[in-house]
Every structure is written in C-alpha cells, then in structure tokens.
Amino acid sequence: MRTQVGIIGAGPSGLLLARLLHLQGIESVIVERQSKEYVLGRIRAGVLEEGMAALLREAQVGERMDREGLVHEGLHLAFSGRMARLDLAAHTGKAVTIYGQTELTKDLVDAHLAAGGVIHYQSPALAVEEYDTDQPRIVYEQNGQRQELICDFVAGCDGYHGVARQSVSSGKITLFEKTYPFGWLGILSDTPPIHEELIYANHERGFALCSMRSPTRSRYYVQCPLDDRVENWSDDAFWDELRCRLPPPVAEKLVTGPRLEMSIAPLRSFVAEPMRFGSLFLAGDAAHIVPPTGAKGLNLAASDVFYLSRALIAFYKEERTDLLDRYSEVSLRRVRQAIRFSWWFTSLMHKFGDDSLNFRLQTAELEYLTSSTAGMTSMAENYVGLPFEPFE
C-alpha cells in the first residue's frame, strides 16, 4: 500500500493532522494499534487553549465543541484557606474551553471516516524503516499478517511508548527527562462540579484539582505517593481527602457520588530532540510529555500538528522544503516554554516531602502572585497558551 503521509496513531494529533491534510487534498493513512472502541473510550484531558480551539475550527470539526464546550475566562487558586481568582480574560483577552478529549476524538473520527479517510485499527506498527530516504515505510501487523505502508513522509503520533521514536537510531536522538516524586489520584463521577471554574489547591497535605467535563460530570484529583495504588482508596476516602485540601466554604459545596473511573497518573517532563529524522516527524507524546498541572499535553500536540500540517501543505502545494526543515526547531521552542510553565506551576502547587520551609515559600509566592498585576498577567498568558509562531 502507498500513500502520501503515513500516520502512526489515531489519537487527537494523528486524526487532526489527517483532517487538515485532507482539506488540502493530501492523502494519508492512519495505523492504530488499539481498537476503535478503546481509543474512543480513553479518559484524557479536557482544557483546550484558544489556539487549539481555532485549529479545530479550521479543521471543520469545532461545531460541537462550540455548542457544548464550557468557555472559562478564569480559574481559582486555593491556598491558606481562601481562594483567589485569576481573570484570564482581563489579563489576556482570551479564555480556555473545557471539552473532553473523548468527545474531541469522536468528532475527529466521525469527520475523517465521513470524508472517506482510512484508519486501520488493531494494526500495531512494528517499525519505521528507510526513514532517511524519500520512500520511508511503516511496517505494521494487520489480521496477523505483516504489512507495509510506503509513504512520502511518516508522522509519528503514537505516544510515548510508540515505535516511531524507537525506530530512530540512538545516536541520532537525545532524550531529556525529569520524574516527579508523586502522582495524581483522579476520579471521574457523574456529579455537578463543585465550582463553575477550575480550582487548583495548594495545601499542606498536598495538591488538589477540581475540574469538570460537563455541567453534570466532574473530574477531581489529589496528589498521592508515587507508589500508591487505586486499591487503597474507597470512594469515601477520596472525597474526604479532597474536602480536607479545599477551603471550608468550598468543601461544603462538594457533591459526591460513585466513581465512573479512578486511576493514578505519574508526573514527568520528557523531551526528545530533534523531532525530525529525514522523512520521519514526531508529534505529541511521541516527542514530549509535560506534567498535567498546566494542561499543556493535548495542546502541545495540537501546536505540533499546526506546524507540521503547514510544512507538509507547503511541500505539496508549493514544492517548498524550508518549513519541513524548520519544523523541529520551531516546535521545540514552544515545547520548552510549555514545559517550563508546567514545571513552575507543579513546583508551586505540590507538596515536596516534609519540607515546611518550601510550603511557606509556596504560600509567599502565591500571595505575591495573586496581588501582582504583572504576576497574574504572566501566569494567565501561559495558561491560555502562548501564540503559535508565524510559520509560512
């Protein structure tokens, strides 16, 4: 089989890239190791920066997001028993949209298949071969048979454990990683959110986050030890711990209910450099991971797709190669800025051991941040998302 752009991974980045290319008449084929049901059922992030929301509209898949998504013009920082609101709109003129990744993926799949797009589910990629030539190929398995997809270019959108990055010779790639000594215990429940905007809480017992997926579905997190297990937590124990970490007037409003899902996510920062290897391009979690504190993971995948789609379109429409040559450099600039912000926000809000001085310094910084126009503006600019760099 042959196509113009072979895409590994049918998550949001792979689907969004395929959609943007299709609208410009560029063919692609997606291979995905999991089943369609598994991909559509994954519970993931739901905070979209304005840049990502605009890109979804450009891809003509933003109608349901605009109709059902929750536009948030602010967020709240809880500390020292009180809450302080960060007015995103006032400091940046922008907002974020709460729209679950599960719904976003469904929109992209529906649009892709309706347009005749090809997704080979349950077809795990085994390797990317000949990526340093103009005819790279994706070797994958389908129905127990070895298959090859010959392409002009390969987009590795297959996540941290995918084969795209693993296919690159170790001497050609440099990996950077930071692991945090804690995780997030998260619960999803069909209960009304505790507040109309997100709450990030700093507490001496550890971090907590109050989020939502819709007006009737809530997502909550509490910081937990890295070696903790879901089996150690009942629903009641989780709700009690969450209440402890919130200001009392807020905790009183918490509506509890049985879990739909509970899981523990480790926190780490990871970057692979460069993001291009001949005809192979990495995007999303295949190239970088950030702590979820700043809600940057999904949005960084979208910014990669923004740059990569424009580079590929320029190649096919104008026979230009300069944007392909600049893809890694430009993408990594934005990646590093997002990792820096996520590291800073994680360091500000989480408990690090029993360091009482660190907790007091966090409180001092939060007091300064929430009383300083400059501080609030800086945080708001990073939270709503730095603008995409001009790329044309």
What Å distances lie between residue 210 and 227, 254, 367, 389, CA to CA?
A: 23, 10, 20, 32
The rounded distance, in Å, linking the Cα atoms of 300 and 288 is 9
Task: Choose the catalytic residue: 12, 193, 291, 292.
Answer: 292
CB-count exposure of residue 102 (10 Å: 0-12, 13-18, 19+) = middle
Task: Choose the catalytic residue: 200, 220, 221, 307.
Answer: 200
* Residue 200: active-site member: yes
Calculate the dihedral angle through the C-alpha atoms of 186, 86, 363, 229, rounding to the nearest 10 degrees. Answer: 0
Instruction: Quote the strand ranges of the chain, DSSP E.
Output: 5-8, 28-31, 47-48, 70-72, 74-79, 82-87, 96-98, 118-120, 125-129, 137-142, 145-150, 153-156, 174-189, 199-201, 208-214, 217-225, 259-273, 276-277, 280-282, 288-289
* Residue 316: active-site member: no
In whole angstroms, how large is the CA radius of gyration of the chain?
21
The rounded distance, in Å, linking the Cα atoms of 28 and 376 is 43
Task: Choose the catalytic residue: 72, 76, 112, 195.
Answer: 72
Task: Choose the catalytic residue: 296, 307, 350, 351.
Answer: 296
Total Cβ atoms within 10 A of residue 85: 15
* Residue 383: active-site member: yes
* Residue 72: active-site member: yes
* Residue 131: active-site member: no
Instruction: Give me the active site residues, please.
Output: 72, 200, 292, 296, 383
